[in-house]
Amino acid sequence: MSSDYSGDAGSLANTMGRALLGAMLALALALPAAATGTEPSPEMQADMSYKDMAGMMGMDDAAAFGKVMLDQLEVEAESDHTLFSWDGQAWYGSDYNKLWLKSEGSPNASDKSDARNELLWDRIVTRWWSVQTGVRYDFGQGPARGWAAAGIEGLAPYWFDLEATFYVGEEGRTAARLRAERDLRITQRLIVQPEFETNLYGKPDIARQIGSGISDLQLALRIRYEIRRELAPYVGLAWRRDFGATAQFARDSGAAPGALLWVAGLRTWF
């Protein structure tokens, strides 16, 4: 409240001057009012809570909103088979605090199926960044794994959407995930989106065929056409590579540790 007022010298002379002016004005205002004999003091609306007032005006600037985004609903063409995957998120909440749900995975034949799901509390902490804390749950290939999650998400200079999250799991497991993407407009509706993502693990998880260190890395370039903002089919090229023990696990199971793939899919939100 007080910061709404800038400095007021408040010297004695000023105060007296203003008092005098105030008195003169009061008199000036009183005279015509007396002459016309009207204009009583308005009846002030009684004080009420912000919620009540916002309800009356229909204007609540603290209201919650929500958004569901399916960034990638994707098919990738490998030489011998087709792989489906999804990557999406949803949020609900106010300007300052939101509940986030992130989900990514591929619902394929058992040995390839995999999913990462996170439920996070998102709290904005700076003008461009928020802190996200919560839980992560992986299932699919091998035993399911639960994690505690903490990270940051925001918009970096040059319009990069960045996510960096650290995870602590059972039996001393740790992990980290980094993701960056941005939009490059070819036209108002034709948009190229480069994406970078990598996963790191503190120790191997043999049951899930994951080695320690940098486990995998993905670089993708998707080009979408926004039929409308909320509906954009895309095609793209994705380069994925497993590293270290993760790559070895892949080789052992007869798969290539790296691949360059065509992808196609749909980006949608509401």
Binding another protein (rule: CB under 8 A), the pick from 22, 107, 146, 213 is 22
Site residues for another protein, window 23-52 (CB under 8 A)? Answer: 25-26, 29, 38-39, 41-45, 48, 50, 52
Binding another protein (rule: CB under 8 A), the pick from 92, 128, 239, 262 is 128
Binding another protein (rule: CB under 8 A), the pick from 16, 20, 31, 53 is 53
Q: How far apart are CA 149 and CA 102, in angstroms?
A: 12
Question: DSSP assignment, residue 270?
Answer: -
Question: DSSP assignment, residue 172?
Answer: G
As a three-state string, the secondary structure of 56-109 is HHCCCCCCCEEEEEEEEEEEEECCCCEEEEEEEEEEEECCCEEEEEEEEEECCC
Q: Amino acid identity of 71? A: D
Does 61 bind another protein (CB under 8 A)? Our answer is yes
Binding another protein (rule: CB under 8 A), the pick from 62, 206, 235, 260 is 62
Site residues for another protein, window 177-236 (CB under 8 A)? Answer: 184-188, 229
Q: How far apart are CA 247 and CA 19, in angstroms?
A: 83
Which positions lie near another protein, rule CB under 8 A?
1, 3-6, 8, 14, 17-18, 21-22, 25-26, 29, 38-39, 41-45, 48, 50, 52-62, 65, 67, 95-96, 124-128, 155, 157-159, 184-188, 229, 269
